[in-house]
Amino acid sequence: MQVNEQNIHTDESGSTSLTTHSDTEPIRPSRDVPTPQDTRNEPSSPTHRIGEVLSTIGVLLLAVLIAFVLTVYVFQSYQVEGPSMQNTLHNNNRLIVWKLPRTWARITGHQYVPKRGDIIVFTESGLSNYGDSQDTKQLIKRVIGLPGDHIVIKNGAITIYNKKHPHGFDPDTTLPYGRNGAIPQTSGNINITLGRHQLFVCGDNRPDSLDSRIFGPINTSQVIGKLVVRIYPFSQIEKF
């Protein structure tokens, strides 16, 4: 290949122009080689079009599958209905519930036990016995008692006894969620010791909550996941 020589000429007006000189013949495309314009104008074959359609369908199906897996096993969006978690959560709040720890516990054959004070979503059946229009629902409540706890509700307060607290403590006044009197008095007269797979849950709005004081402890296998963030209203976005 030979490199063309380039010279710069300046005319009388002072303007500059670029000219190119070459002592070689210009390269012309072969007659039997299609030019780029000819290639673009060639119609695509039916096989090529079918491949594009199948590729698009594959991408869409993969997206649906990923969304399904994430929703079932990793996290899910929920909307609050009802006043039982006021003033922490309000009607129509939009939440993100984290499912991955429960999923991993099931994969490994272990029990998933949330922390005391966590807000969880779980499935509860038999609610029609307590006047609810639906027999089975997904509820959102706060974890008060853990497996093995001895729980006493009396005189408007909850007292929990266990090996770490043999003399008892009130989670509503000692844990962060209940400080500054955020939780109202807890009605009821309960004295119960939880089994090794049981949790005791309550709504933060104790006077208006259907919870373990009514339907009893729940099983850890009923837990769907724990609340991690409120995403709506935007003015109340909060991490839990």
Q: Which sign does the torsion angle of CA 67, 72, 74, 77 carry?
A: positive
Which among 84, 209, 212, 226 is annotated as catalytic?
A: 84
> Does the annotation count 133 as an active-site position?
no
Contact by Cβ (8 Å): 218, 198: yes
> Does the annotation count 84 as an active-site position?
yes
Which among 141, 209, 212, 226 is annotated as catalytic?
A: 141
CA-closest candidate to residue 100, choices 71, 122, 127, 137: 71
The residues assigned a catalytic role are 84, 141
